Amino acid sequence: MTLPSFHRPRAYRPSWSRLSLRLLILTAILALLLPGLAVAQEEGGTPPPLAGESDTGLPCFDGRLRIRDLENADPSIPEGLARVYGVGTAWEEDAKLFALRLGCPLLETGYQWEGTFFSKSAQAFFSTDTNEIRATNDDPNSIPTLGTEGMQVLFVYRSLVRAGFEEDSLLGAGGGVTIRPSTDAQPFGPPASPKDEVYFHVSIQQRGEVVDVWVASQDGTIYQYYSD
């Protein structure tokens, strides 16, 4: 009697050619995806909206200021200044405002105002956003005080749009709008910009370039650095 023969099932082993083909396909897919992810993280890339935020018309909807956001920033000034002055004078009673910065609040839409103060008694600068205290050897009498009476931002928006900058252009992530007086002892702006003036500085990202612009508070004139 002939016994039936039993055959063990053969384990499936993919051939090296198939493995190589799969690896090549996976490598090609990664090569296509990774550059796109890197570009999105670059300075000039458009950030994604904040979590849960669908209204892209709100200021700082993605954590970044745009030129268009400056059009409606003025109503935020009184409350912003009150908070900034409160933090500054809590540091030192003789603290005088040296500079202001308009940026975005953390993980929220809207506007965030921060200030830099100088104290003669402390012989130091103080930043309200980081609580950093920076000692200085500058002559206290040479450090100007930034006046805020009647301060506006709308004219900056109008000057930039009139100069041809696009409303949707992003402002520098670390800067936003910086406001400072410029004097001979404490210059702020290009050499050609007049002294004894307050300037609003922005770094604008447009067409793959970053353009630094200083807007004069008295007449909205724009000043830039120009190479010879």
- pLDDT digits 0-9 by tens, 102-159: 999 988 899 999 999 999 999 999 999 999 999 999 999 999 999 999 999 999 999 9
Can you give the pLDDT at residue 125?
Answer: 98
CA 192 from chain centre, in angstroms, equals: 26
Do 200 and 212 form a contact (C-beta atoms < 8 A)? Answer: no
Tokens representing 109 are 């839409």
Q: Spell out the alpha helix ranges (H) of the chain.
A: 16-41, 77-91, 154-162
Confidence at residue 2, expressed as pLDDT on a 0 to 100 scale: 42
Residue 28 confidence class, pLDDT cut points 50, 70, 90: low
How confident is residue 23, by pLDDT bands cut at 50, 70 and 90? low
Per-residue confidence band for 228, with pLDDT thresholds at 50, 70 and 90: low
Dump pLDDT digits (tens) for 36-51: 433 343 444 555 554 4
Distances (CA, A) of 157 to 19, 61, 175, 207: 58, 18, 16, 19
pLDDT at 34: 45
